[in-house]
Amino acid sequence: MRGFFKPESIAVVGVSPRETNLGRRILMNLHKYGFSGVIYPVGRSGGSFQGHLIYPSLTHIGRPVDLAVVLTPAVTVPDVLRECGELGIRRVIVESGGFAELGQDGLVLSAKALAIAEEYGIRFMGPNGIGTADVHSGLCVPFAEMAKPRPGGVSIVTQSGGVGMQLMMQFEAEAVGVAKFASIGNKLNVDEVDLLEFLIDDPETSQLVFYLESFSRGEEFCRLVASSDKPVIVHKSNTSRMSSSIAASHTTAMLSDDRVVDAALAQCGALRTRTMRSAVDAAKIFSIPPMKGRRVGVISRSGGNAVIAADVCAERGFALPNFDKHVLDLAARHVRAGVIKLQNPLDLGDVFDMDTYKKVLSDIVRQPQIDGIVFLLTYSSTQDPAAADSLVDHIEQIAAKHEKPIVLVLQTWPHETARMKQRSPFPIFETAEEGVEALYVSYRGETHRKQRRARVPKVSAKPETARRLVEAAIGLPHLGAKAFDVLDAYEIVRVPGQVATSKAEAVRLAERAGYPVVMKIESAFAVHKTELSGVKIGLKNAAEVKAAFDEIKNNLFKAGYRPSEFEGVLVQPMADRGLELIVGASRDRDFGPLVILGWGGIVAEALGPPIIRMAPITKRDAMGMIDQLPARGILNGIRGNPPYDVDALADVLVRTARLIADQEAIAEMDLNPVRLYAKGKGALALDARIIPRKESLSKKS
């Protein structure tokens, strides 16, 4: 990817001297950024612009070119790519629109472009993006005027050029330092994962901001995020059907289940933001020391803002420990006697002596019971700005020295806020709630970094046994009772049960299991047992068992199945009553194997959506899933009953996740229900349905 950011020579294809020509703007941006390499404008028109000769074609340049930027009509792009290939240009940015977002013709063009790229070993970015910028090297090739933030550590990857430009404007306005920018548009060839991989190792990049309308290789994306210590902020839009139509025409983004996206990003430790502002605030907070604990000190000149800050602290589970007495005494000496009660939040009322603030802050940041500070500084235009400047510099120093975050919320006149933001890269927030929220973002990022390395536990299992069973069933509707053997291979506790092919055998199995028993139709073709009236419960004696055997068999035939499709009847003992949940697993197009937890029984849907994670998962992940269940309180045991065995449930989740992750031949599966008992009494899968792939993977690819 380096070639997209540090080229020494660039060809810009599609330049003409015409006023309205967009290629010209690319040259203007390179000029604005002070690009130090060589620029070769290319355009049929010929002529010159900004003193650059405009070459009629790439071939006419006759010198080596590191990067070609193409802004010609879509139909011409394949030829330009081929020309690049012939000339040995291996990095190309295609800013032209009119590809896949236009349906059939576009798809043909895209296919052509990909084939040519493959043929010549070209990596290209786009089409339908605005390309790259590098604030450090002075590269900037978008075709619309680009903001120029100060050089720094934030790198931006965006599908939409418009949103990308807006982020750059915001970062310039907020004085957030930027390293690299890439707008990948339709990401036909280079996608977000290529860039993530590169930027994680890029020394100039300390944190990443993504704006995505779809995921390519989501599973890989999450793996990389989890592998890195750099904060990754993701604004994933296109969450609704309504958006997807425009997104499709815009960057051919597909709509993927937003709950899966949510779960996957949370799990790998990416911070998902839902607004432009929160993305910018996150980038700001990640530029100062992280919040390592939950204990906040709030210092304010306005009682009202202290109240608002404390509200958000409470919402976010932050504590406000008392300050050591000496700092309160110190403050007391400067506060209008008796007007203010001193505590945390510390309301300094209308004290306005910058030195007092410095002293108070230096003292509080040192106190061990404080992990981070929110400082709400209100002042009016009559104030001496120099004093405020030195206060901010002081804050920056002590925050760095004590490695604690100090969130400065500045409440003054807009022009003064703007001035303060520009004079130093130390982040400045504008409202109490945004300041505390930012601190919470920092805290979450930090806790995640700590937990990140929690390894996925070794699960005792016989994967080979399971693989044989599943692969033998490829193409069949489901595994039937063999699903239980797969569960056994992964030591997922389930109700015993055996298949009887005759009435006599059914009775034998029933006596062995002990009455009452349950009987279920066994047939690779009968996936929905209940709908086929293929399930009988509470059978108390041999007579009932025999009758049930016949009835189940006949119901199958009544439903139009052939005798050859009847494989017998599964006989199981009745399980004790308990709480019912459903544990499922499936595969997502973008994010791969998933494990799913939901309530069972008749109120399942009413209670809310199931909880999702990417498989495999750790015990901690499993506990997290359980805690996210709607009405989770039920698990604590109701009306004095003992709590339920959540550890056993977690174990089922961990093993099921491991199973779907190991066994690629499984398309989806569910344990429905899993019956959960009181602490120490475990959990039990009463039924299991495993649906294999339609065809073996080898055939598939």
* DSSP letters spanning 116-156: HHHHHT-EEE-SSS-EEEETTTTEE--SS----PPEEEEEE
Task: Indicate the DSSP class of residue 349.
Answer: T
Q: How far is the CB of 420 from a copy of itself (least distance, A)?
A: 14
Positions in 567-596 near a copy of itself (CB under 8 A):
none
Among 50, 59, 249, 501, interactor with a copy of itself by CB under 8 A: 249
Asked whether position 150 contacts a copy of itself by CB under 8 A, the answer is no
- Contact track, a copy of itself, 618-637, x by CB under 8 A: ------------xxxxx-x-
**Of 71 and 510, which CB lies nearer to a copy of itself in the complex structure?**
71
Nearer to a copy of itself, 421 or 655 (CB): 421
User: Of 302, 367, 572, 586, which one interacts with a copy of itself (CB under 8 A)?
Assistant: 302
Residue-wise over 316-345: b if at least 16 C-beta within 10 A, else e?
bebebeebbeebbebbeebbeeeebebebb
Q: Which residues between 436 and 465 bind a copy of itself (CB under 8 A)?
A: none
Asked if the bond preceding 385 is cis, omega within 30° of 0, the reply is: no
Distance CA 580, CA 684 (A): 10
104 binds a copy of itself (CB under 8 A): no
Amino acid at residue number 562? R
Site for a copy of itself in 547-566 (CB under 8 A): none
Among the residue ranges 160-168, 496-504, 616-624, 671-679, the one whose residues contact a copy of itself (CB under 8 A): 160-168
Q: What does the buried/exposed string (b/e) look like for 110-132 if buried means 16 or more CB atoms within 10 Å of the residue's CB?
A: bebbbebbeebebebbbbbbbbb
Binding to a copy of itself (CB under 8 A) within 338-357 occurs at 338-341, 343, 345, 347, 349-350
Nearest to a copy of itself of 206, 239 (CB atom): 239
Least separation, in Å, of the C-beta of 317 and a copy of itself? 11
Q: Kindly state whether residue 531 participates in binding a copy of itself, applying the rule CB under 8 A.
A: no
**Applying CB under 8 A, does 238 fall inside the site for a copy of itself?**
yes
Q: CA–CA separation, 559 vs 561, rounded Å?
A: 6
308 binds a copy of itself (CB under 8 A): yes
* 321 touching a copy of itself, by CB under 8 A: no
Amino acid letter for position 361:
L
Q: Which of residues 261-290 bind a copy of itself (CB under 8 A)?
A: 274-277
Residue 216 engages a copy of itself in binding (rule: CB under 8 A): no
What 3 state SS string does 554-573 have? HHHHHCCCCHHHCCCEEEEE
Q: Pick from 195, 264, 320, 625 the residue near a copy of itself by CB under 8 A.
A: 320
Work out how close the CB of 550 gets to a copy of itself at its nearest, in angstroms, rounded to a whole number.
27
By CB under 8 A, residue 184 contacts a copy of itself: no
What are the φ/ψ torsions at residue 212 (nearest 5 degrees)? -125, 140
Q: Which of 138, 152, 161, 600 binds a copy of itself (CB under 8 A)?
A: 161
**CA 661 – CA 569 distance, rounded (Å):** 31
What the block records as the tokens of 241 is 């059907």
User: Which one of residues 60, 150, 326, 336 is an interface residue with a copy of itself (CB under 8 A)?
Assistant: 336
> To 10 degrees, the CA torsion angle through 560, 565, 568, 573?
-70
Asked if 330 and 342 touch (Cβ cutoff 8 Å), the reply is: no
Binder of a copy of itself out of 314, 332, 400, 697 (CB under 8 A):
314
Select the residue interacting with a copy of itself from 24, 187, 250, 404 (CB under 8 A): 250
Is residue 50 close enough to count as binding a copy of itself by CB under 8 A?
A: no
Q: Which of 79, 118, 229, 311 binds a copy of itself (CB under 8 A)?
A: 311
Contact 567, 522 (CB under 8 A): yes
- For 553, the enclosing helix (H) or strand (E) is helix 542-558
Q: Which amino acid is at 524?
A: A
